[in-house]
Amino acid sequence: MAPLTDTFGRVHKSLRVSVTDRCNLRCRYCMPAVGLPFASRDELLSFEDLRFAVDVAVSLGVDNIRITGGEPLLRRELPKLVTMIADGTQAADIAMTTNALLLHRHAEALAEAGLDRVNISLDSLRPERFTKITRHGILADVWRGIEAACDAGFSPIRINALLLDGFNDDEVADWLAMTEEREIDVRFMELMPIGEGAKMGRLGEFLNLTDLKDRMVEEYGLVPADPEVGNGPARYWKRPDAKGRIGFITPMSNSYCDSCSRMRLTSKGQLRACLAYDDEVDISEAIRERDREAVAQGFRRALREKPAGHQWRDGQVTQTGMSALGG
Ligand code: SAM
Ligand code: SF4
């Protein structure tokens, strides 16, 4: 079948699959403390539905799959889904983004099931700050998950830290020190005006990471890592002798929309071609009916309607929160 190309010629090779919109944390920039409606059990796609959707995407040229949420590890028997995708599709790379709270229980089974990589979201190395930004998370639980992921052989571990001016931007030297000692990639991320993220300012303000990178080059002698570009939007730098790298993900200050190759499938079976827009194409029925052609049409339709890029810098706000979109 013809590759998934949008009207701007961007070929789409990456699908983020959300397996739940629920979470065991309430990060302040992602979810409100209370009052967010969740998908009902009937609305959620089953593992077999998800495997089928991935299989169709792969037949259309998608080669990397990222399992996300909400918190994906809240979905019972997640390693089973990984096995189903690894054994039942031709996906070349299967990754997962998690807050790692439950990772110590599942890391080994996930590795055995065929998960290739894990990204762990962790915004602060200071216990009280971590609890504050997540509303109730315990930092030691995340560390237990990170160690379990290392023991299970995931390498390199990638940590995603969302930096906020006036909240956790004073921790960059600590993160840098960690990359010197361990083969861990730490990726700094910019806040996006999505859901609760559009209402920030209570905890810390948006931090321009293109400027931060320039300051870190000056102050800490960062050099471009080899390779500088991975298979996502992060640009990697490092201290000359460090084992790990520092990545900068800059959707606001240096947008990468021109080279976007991602689509998202929500846990209810809605396709989102662009993270910034609330438009979606419902392919849930086609998936449940195992109608390959209709699912393929859904992917193509979503891409026909995909805009050139976000307009967040001009005041655009995305209503649907990240926990429902899959990050
Ligand atoms: N629960 C998992 C986790 O936290 O890794 C997976 C889902 S979470 C929605 C995926 C990523 O989205 C996290 O790294 C989180 O920091 C990021 N995120 C959530 N809201 C955001 C926002 N408004 N701006 C930027 N990143 C956001
Ligand atoms: Fe949960 Fe991840 Fe959102 Fe935090 S960022 S509330 S861990 S879905």
Using H for helix, E for strand and C for coil, what is the string for 122-174?
Answer: CCCCCHHHHHHHHCCCCHHHHHHHHHHHHHCCCCCEEEEEECEECCCHHHHHH
Q: Identify the band that residue 144 occupies on the pLDDT scale cut at 50, 70 and 90.
A: very high
CA 60/CA 1 separation, integer angstroms: 6
* Ligand 1 binding pocket includes 17 (Cβ within 6 Å): no
Compute, in angstroms, the gap from residue 241 CA to the centroid of ligand 1: 30
* Ligand 1 binding pocket includes 98 (Cβ within 6 Å): yes
Mean pLDDT of 39-58: 97
pLDDT in tens, 156-178: 899 999 999 999 999 999 999 99
Q: What does pTM read for this prediction?
A: 0.96
pLDDT value of residue 232 = 80
- Residue bearing the CA closest to ligand 2, atom 4: 27
Instruction: Determine the atom of ligand 1 nearest the C-alpha atom of 193.
Output: 23
In the chain the domains, ranked by start, together with CATH numbers, are 14-325 (3.20.20.70)
CB 309 within 8 A of CB 277: no
CB 310 within 8 A of CB 316: yes
The better pLDDT of the pair 72, 204 is held by 72
244 Cβ contact list (under 8 Å, min separation 6):
156, 178, 179, 180, 182, 183, 184, 185, 186, 238
Instruction: Determine the atom of ligand 2 nearest the C-alpha atom of 99.
Output: 7
Among 22-31, 182-191, 203-212, 256-265, the minimum mean pLDDT is found in 203-212
DSSP state of 194: B
Mean pLDDT of 132-139: 97
Q: Which amino acid is at 104?
A: H
pLDDT value of residue 58 = 98
Which residues' Cβ are closer than 6 Å to ligand 2?
A: 23, 25-27, 30-31, 69-71, 99, 121, 322-323
**Given a cut of 80, is residue 201 above it in pLDDT?**
no
Q: How many residues does the chain have?
A: 327
- At 226 the three-state DSSP class reads strand
Mean pLDDT of 10-30: 97
CA 85/CA 254 separation, integer angstroms: 34
CA 124/CA 303 separation, integer angstroms: 36
CA 292/CA 275 separation, integer angstroms: 24
- Burial class for 156, CB neighbours closer than 10 Å (0-12, 13-18, 19+): middle
CB 160 within 8 A of CB 142: no
Would you tell me how many other CB atoms lie within 10 Å of the CB of residue 308? 13
pLDDT value of residue 1 = 73
